C-alpha cells in the first residue's frame, strides 16, 4: 500500500502542475466570496468581535463554580472547625486536653457555588458596547466583501481588456507589415523612394514592440484574477473572450437601481459611534455600586469528596469603590474622548458616502459618453485609413500619412476597448456606492441570465 502511494506521488510530480481552471465571472465572484484574502481576514475580525461580545455576558449571566480540596491539620482551631463541619463533634471533643492538643484530622472539602449579578451597570453597558462592536465588524466585513467584488470584476474584465488589446495590436501589426511589403514593392518598382520603405519598417517595428508589451501584460492577467479570488496565481483562466458590447453596457447603466439603503461602511461608522457611547456609559458606571447574589453548598468529610451532610450559604453582596486613585475618572475622560472621535468619524463617513455617490454618478455619465465617442471614432478611423490607403496606392499620400492613419485606427480600437472597460467599472462602483449588489454585473458576461 505504501509503495502504491509512493508511485502515485511520483507520477503526480512528473506530470507537473495541474492545468489552470477556466472560470466565468459568476464563478470567480463565488470563489472570491469564500476564498478572497481580504474577505477571509474580515471574517476573522468579525468572529473575534463576536467572541468578545459573548465574553461580555460574564457580568450579566450567573456563574457556577465547583471547588474541592484536602487538608490535614493539628491546628486547634482548624481541627475543631473541621469536626463541626463534618458533624462529628462529641462530648469528648470538649476535653481541654483534646482541644489544646488535637490529634491530626483529615478533611476533604467540596463546594458548589452560584453567583448571580443583580446590578452591575458597567457590565451592562460593556455588554452593549461589545454587541455594537460586533455589529460594526459585520458591517465592515460586508463593505470589504463588496470591495472584493469590485476588485474581482476589475481583474476579470481587465484580463478581457488585455486580450482585446493583444488582438487589436495583432491586427495592427498584420496591417503594418502589409503596408511595409507594399512600400517595399513600390520602391522596387520605382514608385516611391527608399525612405518610404525604411520608414514603413520602422513604424511596423513600433507596432510590434507595443504588441510584445500587450502580450506580456495579458500573460499576467490570469494571475491578477487568481490573486483577486484568493487562488494560486497560475490556477485560473478567464472564460470570457471579449468585452461586452455597447448595448449591453448601456442596458446595465439604464437599469433601475435598488432603493437607496444605508451603505455598510456608513452603518459600520454609526455602530462604532454607538459602541463608543455605550463604552462611555460603562466608564461612568464604574463609579456606581455593584450588587451581586451568591449561594453555595459545602460538603466536608474525612475521606471522600461530596461525602457527609452538606451545608448551604446564601447572601447578597454590595461593593462600592467611589475612588480608586482617580483611575475611574481618567477612564471616563478617555471614553468620552473616544466617543467624540467616533462621532466625527461617523459624520465623515456619511459625507464621504454622499460625495462618493455623486462622484460615481459623474464618472458613469462621463464613461458612457466616452464610450459612444470611441465607438464612432473606430468607424471614422477605419474609413479614414481606407481612404488614405487608396491615396497611397495612387501616389497622392505619403507613407507617413498611411501609417498615421493606421495608427489612428489602432488607437481608436484600443480606446474603444478601454472605454468599455471603464464604463463597466463605473457601473460596478455605482452599484457599490448605492449599497446594491455588485454581483449584478455578471449579466454582462451572459445577457441571457
User: In the chain, where are the structural domains located?
Assistant: 19-60+123-287+322-444, 68-119+290-319
> In terms of Cα–Cα distance, which of 410, 413, 406 is closest to 384?
406
pLDDT at 449: 42
pLDDT at 194: 82
Strand partners, 315: 294
CA-based end-to-end distance of the chain: 49
Residue given cell 454585473 in the structure block: 441
pLDDT at 201: 85
**C-alpha angle 382/371/427, rounded to 5°?**
150
Residues in the chain predicted with pLDDT less than 70, given as ranges, are 1-19, 446-449
Residue 311: count of CB within 10 angstroms of its CB: 14
CATH topology of domain 19-60+123-287+322-444: Outer membrane efflux proteins (OEP) (1.20.1600)
> In terms of Cα–Cα distance, which of 142, 151, 362, 429 is closest to 262?
142
What burial letters (b/e) apply to 59-80, b meaning 16+ CB within 10 Å?
Answer: beeeeeeeeeeeeeeeeeeebb
pLDDT at 219: 86
Spell out where 25-119 has E strands: 63-73, 105-119
Residue 294: enclosing H or E segment and its boundaries?
strand 290-301
pLDDT at 447: 52
Contact predicate 207/403, CB 8 Å: no
On the 0-12 / 13-18 / 19+ scale of CB atoms within 10 A, 376 is exposed
This model's pTM is above 0.75: yes
Q: What is the three-class DSSP state of 266?
A: helix
Distance from C-alpha of 290 to C-alpha of 320, rounded to nearest angstrom = 6
Residue 105: count of CB within 10 angstroms of its CB: 19
Distance from C-alpha of 404 to C-alpha of 199, rounded to nearest angstrom = 12
pLDDT at 246: 92
DSSP state letters, 316-341: EEEE--S-STTHHHHHHHHHHHHHHH
Q: What is the three-class DSSP state of 64?
A: strand
Residue given cell 486613585 in the structure block: 325
pLDDT at 446: 64
Amino acid at each position: 500500500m505504501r509503495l502504491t502511494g509512493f508511485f502515485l506521488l511520483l507520477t503526480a510530480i512528473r506530470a507537473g502542475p495541474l492545468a489552470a481552471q477556466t472560470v466565468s465571472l459568476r464563478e470567480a465572484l463565488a470563489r472570491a466570496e469564500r476564498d478572497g484574502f481580504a474577505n477571509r481576514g474580515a471574517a476573522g475580525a468579525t468572529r473575534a468581535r463576536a467572541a468578545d461580545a459573548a465574553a461580555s455576558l460574564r457580568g450579566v449571566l450567573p456563574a457556577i463554580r465547583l471547588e474541592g480540596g484536602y487538608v490535614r491539620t493539628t491546628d486547634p482551631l482548624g481541627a475543631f472547625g473541621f469536626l463541626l463541619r463534618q458533624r462529628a463533634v462529641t462530648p469528648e471533643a470538649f476535653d481541654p486536653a483534646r482541644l489544646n492538643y488535637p490529634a491530626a484530622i483529615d478533611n476533604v472539602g467540596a463546594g458548589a457555588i452560584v453567583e448571580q449579578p443583580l446590578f452591575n451597570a458597567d457590565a451592562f453597558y460593556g455588554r452593549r458596547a461589545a454587541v455594537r462592536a460586533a455589529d460594526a465588524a459585520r458591517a465592515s466585513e460586508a463593505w470589504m466583501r463588496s470591495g472584493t467584488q469590485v476588485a474581482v470584476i476589475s481583474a476579470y474584465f481587465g484580463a478581457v481588456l488585455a486580450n482585446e488589446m493583444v488582438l487589436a495590436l495583432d491586427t495592427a501589426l498584420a496591417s503594418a507589415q502589409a503596408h511595409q511589403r507594399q512600400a517595399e514593392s513600390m520602391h522596387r518598382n520605382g514608385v516611391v523612394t527608399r525612405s518610404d520603405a525604411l520608414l514603413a519598417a520602422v513604424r511596423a517595428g513600433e507596432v510590434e514592440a507595443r504588441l510584445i508589451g500587450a502580450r506580456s501584460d495579458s500573460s499576467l492577467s490570469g494571475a491578477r484574477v487568481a490573486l483577486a479570488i484568493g487562488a494560486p496565481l497560475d490556477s485560473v483562466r478567464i472564460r470570457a473572450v471579449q468585452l461586452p458590447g455597447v448595448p449591453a453596457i448601456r442596458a446595465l447603466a439604464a437599469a433601475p437601481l435598488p432603493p437607496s439603503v444605508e451603505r455598510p461602511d456608513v452603518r459600520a461608522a454609526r455602530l462604532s459611534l454607538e459602541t463608543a457611547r455605550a463604552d462611555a456609559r460603562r466608564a461612568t458606571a464604574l463609579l456606581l455600586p455593584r450588587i451581586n447574589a451568591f449561594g453555595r453548598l459545602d460538603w466536608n468529610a474525612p475521606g471522600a469528596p461530596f461525602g457527609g451532610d452538606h451545608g448551604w450559604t446564601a447572601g447578597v453582596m454590595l461593593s462600592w469603590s467611589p475612588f480608586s486613585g482617580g483611575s475611574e475618572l481618567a477612564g471616563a475622560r478617555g471614553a468620552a474622548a473616544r466617543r467624540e472621535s467616533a462621532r466625527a468619524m461617523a459624520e465623515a463617513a456619511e459625507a464621504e458616502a454622499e460625495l462618493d455617490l455623486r462622484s460615481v454618478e459623474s464618472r458613469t455619465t462621463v464613461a458612457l459618453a466616452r464610450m459612444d465617442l470611441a465607438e464612432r471614432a473606430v468607424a471614422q478611423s477605419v474609413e479614414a485609413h481606407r481612404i488614405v490607403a487608396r491615396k497611397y496606392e495612387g501616389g497622392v499620400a505619403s507613407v507617413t500619412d498611411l501609417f498615421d492613419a493606421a495608427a489612428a485606427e489602432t488607437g481608436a480600437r484600443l480606446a474603444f476597448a478601454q472605454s468599455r472597460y471603464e464604463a463597466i467599472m463605473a457601473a460596478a462602483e455605482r452599484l457599490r456606492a448605492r449599497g446594491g449588489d455588485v454581483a449584478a454585473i455578471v449579466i454582462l458576461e451572459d445577457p441571457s441570465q
